[in-house]
Chains A and B, each alone.
Chain A
Amino acid sequence: MLMKRLLVATAAAIALWSWWDYRAGAADSSGLTGPRRRIAVVLSVGGLGDKSFNDSAYEGLLRAVRELGIEEAHGEPADIAEPAEFLDVYAEEGYDLIIGVGFLMKDAVEKAARSHPDRKFALIDAPIDPREYPNCASLLFSEHEGSFLVGALAAMASKSGRVGFVGGMDIPLIHKFKVGYAEGARHVNPECEVLVRYAGAGPDAFHDPVKGKAMAETLFSQGVDVIYHASGSTGNGVIQAAAEHGKLAIGVDANQNYMKPGHVLTSMLKRVDVAVCETIRAVCEERFQGRVCVFGLKEGGIGYAMDEHNRALVTSPMQERVEALKAKILAGEIRVTDYLEVQRGK
């Protein structure tokens, strides 16, 4: 009996504390004046802490809080059935804009957009037809262009002429990274071999750093000396393996150069934060439109990371060369294959 009473008392204390906490939070946010936009982000299943895709989206949301004074909410679905619920709940709670992160959420966002025509929605990483869903914007990235640039850097840095690619799953979105990377590597060195490996066949493949490390070690034993990963936190293992074996890794989505300074050649930056923040800005400035927005090299949505951690790895001739390639892509002289577009064209 004593045990049960203790349990009940503890539960009551926790409930009281969390209510108090909630009240305190509500009180300090009501101090601002003017109409506050309320923006919600539903993250992809990997969730926060991936030091990559989701963290980047969240960073964009936090920047909007600082710069635009919005009120934020974010949901972390535990499985692929949950995003739909989060979207519905936020729509019913009256959020002005609800952003879904990740292509897996496409159906859920379309459904929510249809049942809540008075709310605005945005989806990252998959196109939604604006004629059918006028209240829905899709935010796409030219990952193939960024991958091309880091592929070029990989081929320049490789001594063996063999570079590697570690993808999460063997799916079209990941192929987009792979194809751009291989084209970039071969543009610099037509003889360059690109060895491709995939971590797994389910969502686990994007959060298994131990497997990522084993994969990288396999590639290193096959003569690869630079590996680009597009695999969420699985890539943490790729970067760790590069550091332990004195090789190079290339980060993805967020700037991962800091993780093992001297062993991360660069990172392909996918500025989900830019896309999120700009879309929120559009809502605040009343110019949000349901349309497909592509964030590429030109828009600053895609790039490669240079900072103090990789300054010694990327020599100035290398950087000049990659900047020249970037200019050529921007000028349309080099056309990098967009795997997804090729697929849609079929």
Chain B
Amino acid sequence: MNEFSLLPALVPATIQAATPLLFAALGGLISERAGIVNLALEGMMLAGAFAGACAAILLHDAVPGHPAAAAAGAVMAALVAGALVALLHAAACITFRADQVVSGIALNMLVLGLTVFFSQSIFHMKGGTPQLEEVTLGRLSLGASMALSPLCFVAAAVLPVAGFLLFSTPFGLRLRACGEHPRAAATVGIPVARIRYLAVLASGLLAGLGGLYLVFDVGSFSKEMTSGRGYIALAAIIFGRWRPGLTLAGCLLFGLAQSLQLQLQGRVEVPVAFLQMLPYGVTLVVLAGAIGRSTPPAALGKTG
């Protein structure tokens, strides 16, 4: 089967696998830079995916013949759902000073349960939704062999915006101060709680879009379809040392590892299990600090 070269298929596959990770990772990056650990990324993605799918299907049923409007509604719903989960996380972590790790994991479980509950009450389908049919975001072509979802370009555009916001504006400086030394920030008059709320909210919006990407990719929602991508996004943030550019590199690396794994199966005489270890092996090497020390924001996860 060697007549098929790897590269042409690998590039778009890597970008597609990295896009949902990048959305979630950028969201997590903003939240963590403000000092709030965000393990709820997985739940935010799942909420965005489910709400997006529901909106697309219900709007298309209500007003048939306007798939573009339904798609726009899906985007809105994904943003709102991600933001709602974020609001819960922010309320728990900032207002009620709960343990941030526990809140994140609890929210992931809550969202999983809610998607099953609502899919049953809306579609009588325990955990999934019907097909989105003609509601799509379309594809933008780049050359002959590459047609990507518009969301890939949105993610690519959010990256420099987030970088600029965090590192070149007074607001970004304040946000990072909240993550490094919230008391010092508070003494100079920075509204720490409000900025942290905004940061977590931003992570919800972005992770929601990451979930929406998954739904439009496969054309329906199914239970647990995020399959740990929120956690991989967290690993990408650590890999990226809480910097947007390197975080992008982390997301691309995980995307590449997954696509390569799929491309290599059947081409090389290596047991499948070893190829499937690739993304996780990469994660371990990365987390073990093979690329140098990764220092989190000083006040990250501190509840006091």
Contact with B along A8-35 (1 / 0, CB 8 A): 0000000000000000000000000000
B106 to chain A, nearest CB (A): 13
What range describes how many residues of A lie at the interface? Answer: 35 or more
Instruction: Give complex CA distance A204, B263 in Å.
Output: 19
Asked whether A343 is an interface residue with its Cβ less than 8 Å from the other chain, the reply is no
Interface centre among B13, B20, B225 (most CB of A within 10 A): B225
What range describes how many residues of B lie at the interface? Answer: 35 or more
Given that A49-B126, A49-B223, A170-B272 are known contacts, is A214 also in contact with B16, CB under 8 Å in the complex?
A: yes
Asked whether B283 is an interface residue with its Cβ less than 8 Å from the other chain, the reply is no
Residues of B within 8 A of A212 (CB): 218
Task: Give B229-285 interface residues, CB cut-off 8 Å to A.
Answer: 258-259, 262-263, 265-266, 271-273, 276-277
Asked whether B219 is an interface residue with its Cβ less than 8 Å from the other chain, the reply is yes
Interface centre among A46, A201, A233, A259 (most CB of B within 10 A): A233
Contact with B along A196-228 (1 / 0, CB 8 A): 111011001001111111110110011100000
Contact with B along A175-202 (1 / 0, CB 8 A): 0000000000000000000011110110
A195, B116: Cβ atoms under 8 Å? no
A32 to chain B, nearest CB (A): 24
Tell me the nearest residue of chain A to B255, going by C-beta. Answer: A214
Choose among A55, A207, A236 the residue that contacts B224 (Cβ–Cβ < 8 A): A207
A330 to chain B, nearest CB (A): 34
Give the tally of cross-chain contacts (CB within 8 A). 109
B217, A213: Cβ atoms under 8 Å? yes
B234 to chain A, nearest CB (A): 16
Given that A170-B272, A236-B220 are known contacts, is A218 also in contact with B116, CB under 8 Å in the complex?
A: no
B232 to chain A, nearest CB (A): 11
Instruction: Give complex CA distance A213, B259 in Å.
Output: 11
Residues of B within 8 A of A208 (CB): 225, 227
Residues of B within 8 A of A68 (CB): none
Residues of B within 8 A of A50 (CB): 127-128, 222-223
Residues of B within 8 A of A195 (CB): 1, 266
Instruction: Give complex CA distance A47, B120 in Å.
Output: 13
Residues of B within 8 A of A243 (CB): 219
A48, B126: Cβ atoms under 8 Å? yes
Choose among B9, B128, B225 the residue that contacts A51 (Cβ–Cβ < 8 A): B128
B1, A49: Cβ atoms under 8 Å? no
A233, B128: Cβ atoms under 8 Å? yes
Tell me the nearest residue of chain A to B116, going by C-beta. Answer: A49
Contact with B along A51-76 (1 / 0, CB 8 A): 10001001000000000000000001
Instruction: Give complex CA distance A236, B132 in Å.
Output: 12
Tell me the nearest residue of chain B to A212, going by C-beta. Answer: B218
Instruction: Give complex CA distance A223, B17 in Å.
Output: 22
Asked whether A260 is an interface residue with its Cβ less than 8 Å from the other chain, the reply is yes
B222, A218: Cβ atoms under 8 Å? no
Residues of B within 8 A of A210 (CB): 17, 20, 214, 217-218, 225, 227
Extra inter-chain contacts (6) besides given A50-B128, A50-B223, A211-B262, CB under 8 Å: A48-B116, A51-B222, A195-B266, A208-B225, A210-B217, A259-B131
- Could you give 5 example pairs across A and B, Cβ below 8 Å? A46-B223, A49-B125, A207-B224, A210-B17, A240-B218
